[in-house]
Amino acid sequence: MKGLLHVCTHHIPPVNTQAYKALRLLSNNNECTTYELYLELGSDPRSALQALKRQTYGYWLIHNIGRKKGVYKLDPRHLNGSQDSDKEARLERYKEWADRSKVQSERETLRYQSALLIQSEAKAAYQQYFNFQEDERPAKAQ
């Protein structure tokens, strides 16, 4: 990870974590497939990539240039040795994350009323069934 010496240390995940291994591979390669990441991590790289792209490690900007094939590339601004360029990439990722978060929260807000209705229906069906089962039990002998 020689190309990341200019990056603030609090943006670098702890050594031997999945996020660290993924970042090391991304910083040493021009492009990295899901399969290559899988081999390096020993598991699905999704959570490691998500960790890097969130607040915990300072919003690394990782591009999926393979569309549905999963070919990942660390934004070149993280690698060019400039703290200003690194900051630009992080701010871009931060904005992407905030925009996506807003859309998701709007979608969940719209789904809330539907979820309340479904929950109410499920609870009523549950109570009706189990109340019916109790009514069908033979009376206990005394």
Q: Is residue 117 included in any domain, yes or no?
A: no
Q: Is residue 89 included in any domain, yes or no?
A: yes
Q: Cβ distance 45 to 22 under 8 Å?
A: yes
Q: Cβ distance 93 to 56 under 8 Å?
A: no
Sequence-ordered alpha helix ranges (H) in 42-82: 46-53, 76-79
> Confidence class of residue 137 from pLDDT cuts 50, 70 and 90?
low
Tell me the whole-structure pTM to 2 decimals. Answer: 0.77
Domain span including residue 92: 2-99
Q: Tell me: the pLDDT tens digits for 90-134?
A: 999 999 999 999 999 998 888 898 999 999 999 999 999 988 777
Total number of domains in the chain: 1
Query: What CATH number does the domain containing 7 carry?
Result: 1.10.10
Compute the distance between CA of residue 127 and CA of residue 90 in angstroms, rounded to an integer.
51
Q: Tell me: the pLDDT tens digits for 43-72?
A: 999 999 999 999 999 999 999 998 778 999
Compute the distance between CA of residue 117 and CA of residue 139 in angstroms, rounded to an integer.
36
